[in-house]
Amino acid sequence: MAETFELATFAGGCFWCMVSPFDEQPGIKEVVSGYTGGHTENPTYEEVCSDTTGHFEAVQISFDPSVFPYKKLLQLFWQQIDPTDPGGQFGDRGHSYKTAIFYHNEEQRKLAEASKLELEESGRFQKPIVTEILPAAPFYKAEEKHQHYYKKNPFHYNAYKEGSGRAQFIRQNWKKQKTDEELKQELTPIQYEVTRKNATEPPFQNEYWDNTEEGIYVDVISGEPLFSSTDQYDAGCGWPSFTKPIRRPELEEKLDTSFGMRRIEVRSKTSDAHLGHVFDDGPGPDRARYCINSAALRFVPKDKLQEEGYGEYINLFKE
């Protein structure tokens, strides 16, 4: 069956920060940064930022609704923004940085309205939800230097996301951070030592080092999908090893100089859990070997993906 792609368009403030959350998700073909909703044709970045064009900074997403439904895109969109801010987003002020959902058909409009109402009634925010829901308008692709900025300039992108206040807002309002006491109750001793104390479990004496079943591995704390068995291989090291993660934006890599060594530590962005390390001696084209502690992972078998809410990842295992 041929893939059928639809369009979704979201304005969430600076478009640099609105690409990574959607990029590399299953069923996403492309994420483009651009301008929409205004009254001028082919505007430049400088013109849009001057607030004279009526345009919003936005991203347009080509997606397969059978794999990643529009309702799930909406949920992901809300989790990137402050929907109560009428004057922009975080450090960026002005019309071009306001939030909006641009619907492409009546079904998208209904889903967007229902999603907004659900957020309003949830009581998550004390202030009114001011994100607009508007009909889709001509979309103009932004200059090439702005496309996938988080990949081209990762240091500046991460510094900007933190400095603008967006990253902190997301952590405080959208990511439930569990206390150490809560985690001690929920996790086994080895899971706690690995994820919170940066410990390393014994090789060849851990749950998944020789797993051959099909499925995905999720963050043992947050449940975020991290790795797939389709990318797992036996590296002979005694820990589960992978050539790549399911989505690189879910991982954070840091220099680790502990024990007199220089290594690249891998952590989960959603839970800040220590996962393991990444080395450059793997079999794939970019030579990456993600050497991960089993204790930081929970395995979800292929036949349980739909049941446990990971149905969009079933396509990873289709022949």
The catalytic residues are 14, 291
Q: Tell me how far apart the alpha carbons of residues 277 and 259 are, in angstroms, rounded to a whole number.
A: 14
Q: Tell me how far apart the alpha carbons of residues 200 and 203 are, in angstroms, rounded to a whole number.
A: 9
Sign of CA dihedral 157, 159, 160, 162: positive
β-bridge partners, 101: 10, 133
